[in-house]
Amino acid sequence: MVKVELSFGGSFNFVLVLMFYVFVIPTRCQDEVVMNILKNSISAPIVLQWTDPNVCKWKNINCDSRNRVTDIKLANQTLQGILPKELVKLTALQRFECQGNGLTGPFPYLSKSLQRLIIHDNQFTSIPSNFFTGMRNLQEVNIDDNPLSLWQIPNSLRDCVALRYFSAHNADINGTIPDIFGRDGPLSGLVFLELSSNYLEGVLPASLSSSSIEFLLVNGQNSNNKLTGTLDVLQNMTSLKKIWVNDNSFTGPIPDVSRLDQLSDINLRDNQLTGVVPPSLVNLPNLGLVKLTNNYLQGSPPKFRNGVEVDNNMVGSRNQFCTNVPGQPCSPLVNVLLLVIEPLGYPLEFAENWQGNDPCANKWVGIVCADGNISVINFQNMRLTGHISPNFASLSSLTKLLFANNSLTGTIPNQLTSMPLLQEFDVSNNHLYGRVPSFSEGVVLKLGGNPDIGKDKPSTSDNLGLGGSGNKSNGVSVIVGIILGIVILLCIGALLIIKFGKRFRIHTRMGKHPDAIKVHHKYQWDENDVKVSVVSNGEVSGVLSTTGNVYEASNMVISIQVLRQVTYNFCEEKIVGKGGFGTVYKGELHDGTQIAVKRMQSGMGDEKGPNEFTSEIAVLTKVRHKHLVSLLGYCLDGDERLLVYEYMPQGALSRHLFNWKEEGIKPLEWKTRLSIALDVARAVEYLHGFTQQIFIHRDLKPSNILLGDDMRAKVSDFGLVRLAPEGKLSFQTRLAGTFGYMAPEYAVTGRLTTKADVYSFGVILMEIITGRKALDDTQPEENIHLVTWFRRMLLNKSSFQTIIDQTIEVDEETYASINTVAELAGHCSAREPHQRPDMSHAVNVLSSLVEVWKPAEQDVDDIYGINFDMTLPEALQRWQAFEGRSTLDLTLSPSPMQTTGDNSHTSESPKVPSDARK
């Protein structure tokens, strides 16, 4: 796409190509910009030494082989400030670590390439709820200890399929723990899960059961309810090494942990656990630390191996061990009672009450004694779940066994029929089923209110198989964690910068003398608050606007910092053109205004370079016309010499004439070609039309004709522009230009007149008609030179028809138009300069053709009150009328200079006496 056309001549000659679609912001360049924004946002301390132009050389930053930023590691740097949202544009970022700083504000989105996010111990106030969406590479997350406003673990955490480590201690999470952890689930690789000191509620999700988690820390929830339910899921978490569930509201017994043979650290204290400590816990081979204080544990206090650290008030706390001596067994009666309540899930009601080692002496709830023997079990109205233990049968002194008004399930055990003294058996109003065993005749049976009694199966499936581990939470439906999170799509617009209107505003005050003119350039950047003020030294005024037009200028100084920013530090990927004189970069201001920045080769020509540079500015600031590409500003800073032009999004005419197929664009219609030709003719006419100095372009060709989105053309590349010395219409100069477009007399003698441009224009017209290049090597020898071939074909009508570009739809009217232009082309490229017409003639011919089609339309440029067809002296005269007026903001207020009428599409042209050009 980037075409660098050959030019020859002095080393100061260059061919500039400004153009092209570059929609994708080059990512590497982007990194540099983003890193600089980051640097400013966190006021990077001096120790970081973030000064090198190459961000990859910055301390604590790593890049990959393509110079993309991959790691940012800023732990413990006493950083403050807010992270910029531009960080998301670091699309190769893998590690972001900023733990142990004072960073605040909302945490920004980061790239989906992220693998490691370590941001604990900061002051971040929020994390986007959909931060984790699509984070398929994320392996490690630590967001501990940030004052985030209450949020929930987002369901989008499911997307983090690579996640191994997730730590969110004291991170203000409320809601429940989502059920996304199973072996077959998205987070099957998770090894470390810390959610302690948050505001979580609800149960441990069932999917934890089949996870590979080794470290599970959910302790210390601050919510009113804390985490509830049983610890049953732990029994299958065979990878567990560390469990901290302390300081919650877990109930029920400690599950069988015999399969958790990796477990070394278990903290269950400060819950409401009941029942006996299972031997499986005591016997764990790798146990090192166990904490059981402040539960309602029952039975014999466990005696752990030597070397296992146990919290020292395990026994003295509210636990209900039957003795204070670890390892000492309970009385047989206590053992039986603990056995019979096991299938009931060790109800808290019993655990709170059943103190000591003697049920009768201590009047245990539900137990009625007579003569030191248990005579009645009265478990009525206790909301019990679970099933009836056969071990009741071993309480041989029982006379009454009362279970009325509970939610017991299962069947009535046969063993109960063997109880010698039993008189009453009341299980009314439960959910029992099955055959009723045959009690001896004297026993009063109360079975009412059990709809399924006598049937083989319970009618509702929820009662099936719950008996064995029945507990309070069976009545509570397990929340299968679906947390509602707002998932907002974020991907669009990552490369687009929102336009916030016209922020690129410059005020100027014009005075009588150049010295009196003060210029205040104020570049306002949104978001990042990069404010760059450029104040020119006041020699001549400059006005710069978002429309990209220069109204009058010289000394439109733009700082090197701004140009570095917009070109991503002159990143290679921003290059849109290269020539002998320098490199052209595309840039975009934060308001979306696109610019082309030409960077002169530094160190070039040493003495000559700067002269060329200044003389170019001199030329470019004198010529201003809506069909000439505008100079927006320049920068002279040390070795750096830069020119800033408006950017032309549709690229060069050559692209549309010769490369449309490769570029996948539509070939130009005849009408468009005609209007482009007229635009060019007007521009060149203007250049030639100055009375005192005549500008000669010297390098007119389709690659120097740039198109805007409206397909209106502007002539660019004034690098070869030469001023005819005052009073001289012909002068000798170093030869420069492009073969195929160069007038023969100029090529041979180096003598230059405006007619050299007319010749080139003629060649361009031929190209516009034929779609063929000035020099076409693919043609047979005699046809390579377009001008020669065209003239030959023009001789007769039938052959002429064949040279019209195939893509042009030719009707009668079009044909006539093409014919006229073809004649004009031949005329313009006549061999002898004096046979060629002036550009004003070409303008007249073309505008009369264009007028046939063009409806009159409002010219937007007139809104700004500038008549671009005015010559500079005319314009200066007008401006002098404003002498003494105060600040004039041309970009905002309609100027009183506004002219009436539309003279931009008519044949009106600078009224330059024609003899001035002869």
Ligand X SMILES: *[C@@H]1O[C@H](CO)[C@@H](O)[C@H](O)[C@H]1NC(C)=O
Residues at the site binding ligand X, with contacts judged by CB under 6 A? 75-76, 100, 150, 152, 174-175, 209, 232-233, 235-236, 371-373, 380-381, 396-397, 404-405, 429
In the complex with ligand X, which residue's Cβ is closer, 234 or 678?
234
CB 301 within 8 A of CB 315: yes
> Who contacts 816 (Cβ-Cβ below 8 Å, separation ≥6)?
none
CB of 481 to ligand X, least distance (A): 11
In the complex with ligand X, which residue's Cβ is closer, 201 or 616?
201
Give whole-number Cα distances, 845 to 387, 625, 675, 820, 918, in Å.
Answer: 105, 20, 12, 8, 20
In the complex with ligand X, which residue's Cβ is closer, 76 or 806?
76
CB of 227 to ligand X, least distance (A): 13
The H-or-E segment that residue 320 falls in is: strand 320-321
In the complex with ligand X, which residue's Cβ is closer, 76 or 877?
76
d(CA 705, CA 814): 23
In the complex with ligand X, which residue's Cβ is closer, 313 or 373?
373
CB of 646 to ligand X, least distance (A): 48
For the CA atoms of 224, 227, 229, 234, the dihedral, rounded to the nearest 10 degrees, stands at -170
Two structure tokens written together for 241? 């090494």
In the complex with ligand X, which residue's Cβ is closer, 76 or 835?
76
> Who contacts 270 (Cβ-Cβ below 8 Å, separation ≥6)?
246, 247, 248, 293, 294, 295
CB of 855 to ligand X, least distance (A): 60
Q: In the 8-state DSSP scheme, what is residue 880?
A: H
Task: Report the half-sphere exposure of 309 (CA within 13 A, side-chain side).
Answer: 6
In the complex with ligand X, which residue's Cβ is closer, 77 or 904?
77
Buried/exposed code over 390-428 (b: 16+ C-beta within 10 A; e: otherwise) = bbbbbbebbbbbbbbbbbbbbbbbeebbebeebeebbbb
CB of 114 to ligand X, least distance (A): 18
CB atoms within 10 A of CB 811: 9
Phi and psi based region of residue 897 (left: phi greater than 0; alpha: psi -120 to 50; beta: remaining): alpha
CB of 457 to ligand X, least distance (A): 20
Instruction: Say how far residue 570 (Cα) sits from the centre of its chain.
Output: 23
Beta strands in 430-510 (DSSP E): 433-434, 444-446, 452-453, 504-509
Q: Does residue 639 have an active-site annotation?
A: no
CB of 118 to ligand X, least distance (A): 8
In the complex with ligand X, which residue's Cβ is closer, 392 or 868?
392
CB of 154 to ligand X, least distance (A): 12
**Beta partners for residue 215, in sequence order:** 192, 242
Q: If we measure between CA atoms, which residue out of 174, 170, 141 comes closest to residue 157?
A: 141
Amino acid at 734: R
> Who contacts 40 (Cβ-Cβ below 8 Å, separation ≥6)?
528, 530
CB atoms within 10 A of CB 19: 27
Q: If we measure between CA atoms, which residue out of 28, 7, 11 comes closest to residue 575?
A: 28
Amino acid at 559: S
CB of 261 to ligand X, least distance (A): 15
d(CA 631, CA 595): 10
> Which of 699, 717, 805, 862 is flagged as catalytic?
699
> Who contacts 438 (Cβ-Cβ below 8 Å, separation ≥6)?
417
d(CA 467, CA 413): 12
- 786-794 and 812-828 are packed helices; what angle lies between their axes, rounded to 10 degrees? 120
Two structure tokens written together for 310? 């146990």
**Beta partners for residue 680, in sequence order:** none
In the complex with ligand X, which residue's Cβ is closer, 419 or 653?
419
In the complex with ligand X, which residue's Cβ is closer, 232 or 679?
232
For the CA atoms of 200, 202, 207, 213, the dihedral, rounded to the nearest 10 degrees, stands at 40
Q: If we measure between CA atoms, which residue out of 35, 86, 42, 18 comes closest to residue 498?
A: 86
Sheet holding 173-176, edge to edge: 151-152, 173-176, 199-201
Enumerate the active-site residues. 699
